[in-house]
Amino acid sequence: MPPMSANPPVNWDALVDEAVETLCRFIRVDTSNPPGNERAACDFLGAILTREGIPFTLYDAGDDRVSLRAVLRGDGSKRPFMLLNHTDVVPVQRQYWDRDPFAGEIVDGHIWGRGTLDMKGLGIAQLMAFLTVKRLGVPLARDLVFFAQADEEAGSEFGMRFIVREHPETLEAEYVLNEGGGGTTELFGVERAVYSVAVSEKGPLWLRLVAEGRPGHGSMPHDDNALDRLVRALYKVQTWERPLSVSPVLTEYFSRLKRAGVYKGEATVEGLTEAAASDLRLRALLMDTISVTTAASGIKHNVIPARAEATLDCRLLPGVDPAVFQSAMEAVIDDPKIRIERVHVRSSDANAYDNDFFRTIEDVVHDMVEDAVVVPGMTVGFTDSAELRNRGQISYGFSGGLTKPELMAGVHGNNERISLESFRLNCQMVYEITRRMCVIGS
């Protein structure tokens, strides 16, 4: 048998054709969460792995909430490398789509469908990298793990959180490649390929404010109206002035972008405060945010309600203690008759990025996209990386695709689609990062 090559040639045209066809079929497996039904996704992925002669294990959290894990064995000289993805997608509002979100069609050079960006596209790019390593017999210095998780979109109770609780040994990995980062063709109005490697993310703190008071007749106002109380509390929350905070990751993010001429302002708190005043995305990166998302009270037009409640979607910067934030909010509301209930919380600190994983991603991007800028970044939403970072692991969000800003609205929105060109680049980068991280002699 000839010695296995560390960098065998890849027939990219054939491989990308196969990847596109696989992604289209994967889109047709409707895994809208709720209910998720990730067993169907695992059946789909499992059939492919079986055909390739790769064994896998299913992790069943009940009610067809299933995750799948497969491993290609390395010589063990390094700790494992994990390709992490989730198979569920957020539900669609079909009436706002121009195409069927679950048809997996190719229209005008784009693959359409729920999950193309978040994150079946990246999941299939990871799967193809995994299969290619196996098919070409790339000699591995470490185990290469492919882990497809359930329930990420609804908080991971039946996916990553279940795995952390019940099967933590399956998560052993020196480095994890997950969703949360990637390339954009334009940033701050400047046309330039910018790739963000997400080394941190904001944490959700979902709160419910509950006011209780005395019911009564609408014709006789009194000062213990639960809805009045809630409105006052919400007003205080909305006018609560909180400072901007530039975390170390973002200091590096903005200074790299400034050096590249992409961010034109000053990378100081003062400069960023000014810029953030007119840029929602920037503001979300620089402060703990609060959105009031629901409010409910009252039974009849002429009855003073005895109860009123509202939900707040707070998103905290990495390193901010949710308990400290919640007591600060309590002090701002300053009303013992407002109860604050905690519905969901998840927080994590930033990963370091002075390591061979980050440098490998940088190198691969620079080799494949001329003039690209690579920055460490922060995901504004949440991902399963938080659970891994809390276990002390390095889990980066990165996708090799280069997405036009206008297509980003498709993530959790309508008309989600990915260009064929961007998907090809994603497949190539994910494979090359995986190969360089895992191959013997790297």
**Residues at the contact surface with Zn ion, assessed by CB under 5 A:** 118-119, 179
> Pairing state of beta strands 144-149 and 81-86?
parallel
Cβ partners under 8 Å of residue 223, min gap 6: none
- Smallest separation (angstroms) from Zn ion to the CB of 385: 11
Both tokens assigned to 228: 């009045």
Closer by beta carbon to Zn ion, 118 or else 288: 118
- Smallest separation (angstroms) from Zn ion to the CB of 399: 10
Closer by beta carbon to Zn ion, 45 or else 119: 119
Residue closest to 190 by CA, chosen among 255, 254, 264, 284: 264
> Pairing state of beta strands 303-304 and 338-345?
unpaired
- Smallest separation (angstroms) from Zn ion to the CB of 119: 4
Residue 352, Cβ neighbours under 10 Å: how many? 12
Closer by beta carbon to Zn ion, 379 or else 434: 379
- Smallest separation (angstroms) from Zn ion to the CB of 178: 9
Closer by beta carbon to Zn ion, 201 or else 288: 201
Closer by beta carbon to Zn ion, 118 or else 432: 118
Residue 1, Cβ neighbours under 10 Å: how many? 4
Closer by beta carbon to Zn ion, 179 or else 201: 179
- Smallest separation (angstroms) from Zn ion to the CB of 65: 16
Closer by beta carbon to Zn ion, 182 or else 322: 182
CA dihedral for 342, 346, 349, 350, sign (positive or negative): negative
The number of residues making up the chain comes to 442
State the Cα–Cα distance between residues 172 and 428, nearest whole angstrom. 25
Buried b (16+ CB within 10 A) or exposed e, 226-260: bbbbbbebbeebeeeeeebebbebbebbbebbeeb
- Smallest separation (angstroms) from Zn ion to the CB of 298: 37
Q: Nearest residue to Zn ion, using CB?
A: 118
Both tokens assigned to 269: 């708190």
State the Cα–Cα distance between residues 117 and 115, nearest whole angstrom. 5
- Smallest separation (angstroms) from Zn ion to the CB of 91: 14
CB 240 within 8 A of CB 336: no
Task: Provide the residue type at 214 as one letter.
Answer: R
- Smallest separation (angstroms) from Zn ion to the CB of 123: 9
Cβ partners under 8 Å of residue 415, min gap 6: 96, 97, 98, 99, 112, 409
Both tokens assigned to 317: 């910067």
State the Cα–Cα distance between residues 13 and 216, nearest whole angstrom. 72
Closer by beta carbon to Zn ion, 119 or else 437: 119
